[in-house]
Structure 1
Amino acid sequence: MVSARVEEKDQEGFEAAYRQVTAVVHGTPGHLRDELLRDADEPGRYILLAEWESEEAFRAWEDAPSHREMAAPMFPFWSGGGIERRIYEVRTRLGGVDTPK
């Protein structure tokens, strides 16, 4: 999960860069899905959620030389600070297609 603040003038570009990066990352071994959330009360605050099969799969991608090239469109938006990155483990999933019967 990455939490980011994006200035209003940069939001359209940020969202376009996010779509560009996720299109390239799609199909990477271990990558399951991405979501971009924007705060309804504070539109300059975003949450980027990426789900991977395992932390090991994520770290293998993150450590790969191709990672910087894939993620490059997002770099201009990270330079202003206001970025927080955390790794969480899914402990329980309710609803949807992944719920055991």
Structure 2
Amino acid sequence: MSADQQARPADQQSRPADQQSRPALPTTPVRVVVWYRAPSSDAAAVETAYHEVSRTLEGTPGLLSNELLRSATDKASFAVMSHWESGQAFDTWERGPSHQASTAPLVPYLDRAPDRRFELYEVTAAY
């Protein structure tokens, strides 16, 4: 065993190098929430992109469901909440080759600076 392997905890020794600094991911179900903001001139754009992405993701291993939520107080604010069979299943998909292409229609609407801890959302659509 190398000196590097001896310095790492046993659970990290068998993981690939790019995952060794990451905490172990849950093997239990998780929800992933991503926030989006619609352009003021086209609030339906996020909904259209969501439906396109959801059709592409249908049958993705580990993805149990997803919902498009729209803020009850800010009609331009949306969130997608996806339900995964485990954190590991989500991580496998996120690191996989199809992740970026399959979610590309929603990328222009990412809300990169949510300044809220809590928001009330209405379910707009679900698969």
Q: What TM bracket, shorter-length normalisation?
A: 0.7 to 0.9
Partner of residue 27 from structure 1, selected from 59, 62, 65: 59
Which consecutive aligned stretches of 4+ in structure 1 deviate over 4 angstroms post-superposition?
Answer: none
For the pair shown, which has the larger CA radius of gyration, 1 or 2?
A: 2
Could you tell me which runs of 5 or more consecutive residues in structure 2 were left unpaired when the two chains were aligned. Answer: 1-32, 116-127
For 1:7 and 1:67, the matched residues in 2 are separated by 24
Q: CA deviation at 1:83?
A: 5.4
TM-score (norm 2): 0.59
Deviations 1:40-95 (A, max 9, x none): 211011121000000000010000011111111112222x63358xxxxxxxxxxx
The aligned amino acid for 1:8 is S
Residue 82 in structure 1 maps to residue 109 in structure 2? no
The answer to whether the Cα contact below 8 Å between 2:66 and 2:82 also exists between their aligned partners in 1 is yes
For 2:55 and 2:63, the matched residues in 1 are separated by 12
The answer to whether the Cα contact below 8 Å between 1:36 and 1:47 also exists between their aligned partners in 2 is yes
RMSD: 1.8
Q: Report SS of the residue matched to 1:9.
A: coil
Count of aligned residue pairs for this structure pair = 83
TM-score (norm 1): 0.73
Aligned to 1:60: 92
